[in-house]
């Protein structure tokens, strides 16, 4: 039989009341009083009641950022989320000035040239947050993200209430891909693979639960990916280790935006290899290395933290380096004539070693030297001010 | 409330402050302790640990109990955080190795109410907490969201999905 919602709620309350009263409650005042009296003023707890999962996430993200930065005077890292008033700033030392988000190459070897600078518009984007988890033993990666919209109907892929699988039904799989439906905490999700599902990835699992969730696994099985997604669903949120053996590598947030510009700077190396680096709002780094294994590396002359990605099959991943730096996420790309046809020199590493934060004036001088560039970025004093045309 | 008398003697001042704090805390204890233990029982499913967590919440808020505008809300926030931390540790233990759900038996409950309680305990953690805070603690969705550290829309979704998961057992024919 189907009961009226109010009847259901009344039965639920009755059950919870009964469960809460299953046994008598003993008096605890003496113990509380003794413990409070034993506290000396020096051990007074002055903290707030508790940070809550979100603030803990931010603190964790801040800790990770500071740990990888390792540089005195690291500038401000701001993380916030659309629809939330919650935001957090982490300041290590006193920054000389607010970061512009501009980074330009300095001290590149002779023969390098700037080919052009352009602005791409990613369009409106929901608030997003995510985490990268790695297993150093198996060289596996899990990138779990959540895109939330204040208005769920604004999700481009459908209404969460419909619980429709994203990516289509199995018989609607994109050409060359395999999809299968799975249950993620009572919600239908879709696993998509570039090949067979038992190839250990890269695999993508999408599901809708108050926004779009995505788990991308590399060197993991479909079963492991599903288990990781289930752990995320069980909560409290992204701060739980998704699979045994994995550790947190990175964690990020970005607010909702009407436009999400990406500035791309193209260069040609002295060996005529075409490379580029992109600048995006913090938290929007293209892919954040999903599907590849990240490693923190030291590059000669570069004080900012740099991440190098390696693919597992070496054939499809063109982005080799990333810097999640004050004011911008940077991703480095290598353009190959043929997959696997990589130059002997580490040209993207060479480029990333040379990148330095720039003031507005320095950026504009760089633009002038670049010749062909979009006027939208000439007028913007900072990356955050870029308005795609 | 005990009167705090200014004095040159630091230890006497400390004693008076402690007395004032304990007096405020005892008033809160008299009004909130029973409800706190009951809430902790529901959020953790652990009768014995619930009393310890409730006492821990009182001890933690003691330094600021007489400075808070709403000490009961402050207490509840602290308690919910403690219970959720406890739940995460318990869940970690449960996950290794995988085992049948560790559900508290409910021998003292009528059969149908026991089934509902078991179904509540089997909900994913956040859905369970959201359902308990909304329907048992009778908190508005915004407060549930604040306590769970999430957006109101997420809290609404958790509550809705939690209820949907319980629909079958709540509609069970054998129930009154």
**Residue-wise DSSP of B21-54:** HHHHHHHHHHHHHHHHHHHHHHHH--HHHHHHHH
| Angstrom distance (rounded) from CA B176 to CA B173 | 8
At A27, list the tokens. Answer: 């008096």
Question: What are the residues facing A142 on neighbouring strands?
Answer: A133, A217
Determine the pLDDT at residue A269. 86
Determine the pLDDT at residue B174. 54
Q: Taking 60 as the threshold, does the pLDDT of residue B5 lie above it?
A: no
Give, rounded to a whole angstrom, the gap between the first and last alpha carbons of chain A: 59
Determine the pLDDT at residue A74. 24
Please list every residue in chain A whose beta carbon sits closer than 8 Å to the beta carbon of residue B157. 160, 209-210
Task: Among B18, B51, B175, select the one facing A11 at the smallest CB separation.
Answer: B175
Is A83 in Cβ contact with B41 (below 8 Å)? no
Determine the pLDDT at residue B88. 55
Q: How many A-B residue pairs are in contact by the CB < 8 A criterion? A: 177
| A283-300: average pLDDT | 80
For every residue of A77-123, DSSP letters joined together read EEEE-TT---EEEE--S--SS---S-EEE-SPPTT-EEEEEEEEE--
Q: Please, which pLDDT band fits residue B132 given cuts at 50, 70 and 90?
A: very high
Q: Please, which pLDDT band fits residue B175 given cuts at 50, 70 and 90?
A: very low
| B118-141: average pLDDT | 89
| Angstrom distance (rounded) from CA B65 to CA B75 | 9
A35: nearest CA partner in chain B: B59
Q: Please, which pLDDT band fits residue A63 given cuts at 50, 70 and 90?
A: very low
Please list every residue in chain B whose beta carbon sits closer than 8 Å to the beta carbon of residue A51. 81
| Angstrom distance (rounded) from CA B4 to CA A295 | 59
Please list every residue in chain B whose beta carbon sits closer than 8 Å to the beta carbon of residue A148. 151, 153-154
Determine the pLDDT at residue B20. 86
| B26-39: average pLDDT | 93
Residue the block writes with tokens 């955080």: B81
Q: Please, which pLDDT band fits residue A3 given cuts at 50, 70 and 90?
A: low
Give, rounded to a whole angstrom, the gap between the first and last alpha carbons of chain B: 49
B148: nearest CA partner in chain A: A52
**Per-residue CA distances from B31 to A380, B25, B36 (Å):** 59, 10, 10
For every residue of A326-356, DSSP letters joined together read TTEEEEEEE--SSTT---SS-HHHHHHHHEE
Q: Please, which pLDDT band fits residue A177 given cuts at 50, 70 and 90?
A: low
At A366, list the tokens. Answer: 């760089």
Which of the residue ranges A178-182, A321-325, A380-384 would you say has the lowest mean pLDDT?
A178-182
| Angstrom distance (rounded) from CA A348 to CA A209 | 38
pLDDT digits (tens, 9 = 90+) for A29-41: 998 998 888 864 3
Which of the residue ranges A114-118, A177-181, A324-328 would you say has the lowest mean pLDDT?
A177-181
| Angstrom distance (rounded) from CA B158 to CA A146 | 15
A302, with CB counted inside 10 A (0-12, 13-18, 19+), is middle
Task: Among B120, B126, B170, select the one facing A235 at the smallest CB separation.
Answer: B126
| Angstrom distance (rounded) from CA A202 to CA A217 | 5
| Angstrom distance (rounded) from CA A128 to CA A329 | 14
Determine the pLDDT at residue A79. 26
Q: Taking 70 as the threshold, does the pLDDT of residue A178 lie above it?
A: no
| Angstrom distance (rounded) from CA A343 to CA A101 | 29
Is B41 in Cβ contact with A19 (below 8 Å)? yes
CA atoms within 13 A on the CB side of A100: 16
pTM of the shown model = 0.50
Q: Which of A106-120, B53-67, B103-117 has the highest mean pLDDT?
A: B53-67
| Angstrom distance (rounded) from CA A288 to CA A371 | 30
Which of the residue ranges A33-47, A213-227, B64-78 would you say has the lowest mean pLDDT?
A33-47
Q: Taking 50 as the threshold, does the pLDDT of residue A249 lie above it?
A: yes
Is B135 in Cβ contact with A16 (below 8 Å)? yes
Q: What is the mean pLDDT of chain B?
A: 77
Asked if A355 and A302 touch (Cβ cutoff 8 Å), the reply is yes
pLDDT digits (tens, 9 = 90+) for A253-264: 888 887 888 898
Which of the residue ranges A17-26, A75-84, B38-47 would you say has the lowest mean pLDDT?
A75-84
Q: Is A254 helix (H, G, I), strand (E, B) or coil?
A: strand
Is B124 in Cβ contact with A8 (below 8 Å)? no
Q: What is the mean pLDDT of chain A?
A: 71
Is A209 in Cβ contact with B26 (below 8 Å)? no
Selected residue with higher pLDDT from B16 and B53: B53
């Amino acid at each position: 039989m189907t009961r009226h919602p109010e009847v259901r709620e009344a039965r639920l309350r009755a059950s919870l009341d009964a469960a809460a009263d299953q046994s008598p409650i003993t008096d605890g005042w003496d113990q509380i009083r003794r413990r409070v009296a034993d506290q000396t003023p020096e051990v007074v707890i002055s903290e707030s009641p508790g940070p809550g999962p979100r603030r803990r996430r931010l603190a964790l993200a801040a800790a990770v950022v500071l740990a990888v930065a390792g540089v005195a005077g690291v500038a401000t890292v701001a993380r916030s989320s659309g629809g939330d008033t919650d935001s957090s700033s982490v300041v290590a030392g006193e920054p000389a000035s607010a970061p512009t988000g501009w980074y330009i190459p300095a001290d590149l070897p002779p023969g390098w040239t700037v080919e052009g600078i352009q602005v791409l518009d990613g369009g409106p984007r929901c608030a997003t947050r995510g985490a990268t988890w790695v297993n150093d033993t198996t060289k596996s990666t899990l990138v779990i993200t959540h895109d939330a919209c204040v208005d769920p109907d604004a999700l481009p892929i459908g209404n969460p209430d419909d619980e429709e699988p994203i990516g289509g039904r199995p018989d609607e799989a994109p050409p060359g891909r395999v999809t299968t439906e799975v249950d993620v905490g009572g919600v239908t999700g879709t696993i998509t693979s570039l090949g067979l599902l038992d190839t250990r990835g890269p695999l993508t699992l999408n599901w809708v639960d108050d926004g779009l969730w995505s788990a991308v696994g590399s060197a993991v099985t479909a079963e492991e990916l599903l288990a990781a997604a289930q752990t995320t669903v069980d909560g409290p949120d992204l701060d739980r280790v998704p699979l045994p053996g994995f550790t947190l590598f990175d964690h990020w947030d970005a607010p909702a935006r009407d436009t999400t510009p990406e500035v791309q700077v193209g260069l040609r190396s002295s060996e005529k290899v075409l490379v580029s680096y992109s600048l995006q709002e913090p938290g929007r780094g293209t892919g954040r290395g999903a599907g590849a294994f990240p490693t923190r590396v030291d590059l000669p002359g570069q004080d900012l933290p740099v991440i190098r990605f390696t693919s597992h099959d070496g054939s499809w991943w063109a982005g080799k380096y990333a810097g999640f730096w004050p004011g911008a996420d940077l991703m480095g790309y290598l353009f190959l004539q043929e997959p696997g046809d990589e130059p002997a020199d580490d040209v993207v590493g060479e480029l990333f070693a040379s990148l330095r934060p720039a003031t507005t004036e320095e950026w504009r001088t760089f633009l002038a030297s670049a010749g062909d560039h979009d006027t939208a970025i000439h007028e913007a004093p900072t990356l955050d001010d870029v308005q795609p045309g | 409330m005990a009167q705090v008398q200014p004095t040159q003697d630091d230890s006497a001042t400390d004693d008076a402050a402690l007395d004032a704090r304990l007096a405020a805390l005892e008033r809160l204890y008299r009004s909130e302790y029973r409800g706190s233990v009951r809430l902790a029982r529901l959020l953790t499913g652990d009768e014995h640990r619930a009393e310890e967590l409730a006492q821990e919440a009182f001890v933690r808020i003691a330094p600021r109990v007489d400075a808070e505008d709403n000490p009961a809300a402050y207490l509840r926030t602290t308690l919910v955080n403690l219970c959720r931390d406890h739940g995460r540790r318990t869940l970690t233990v449960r996950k290794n190795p995988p085992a049948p759900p560790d559900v508290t038996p409910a021998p003292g409950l009528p059969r149908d109410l026991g089934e509902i309680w078991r179904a509540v305990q089997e909900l994913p953690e956040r859905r369970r907490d959201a359902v308990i805070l909304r329907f048992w603690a009778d908190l508005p969705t915004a407060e549930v969201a604040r306590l769970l550290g999430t957006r109101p829309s997420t809290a609404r979704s958790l509550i809705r999905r939690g209820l949907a998961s319980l629909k079958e057992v709540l509609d069970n024919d054998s129930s009154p």
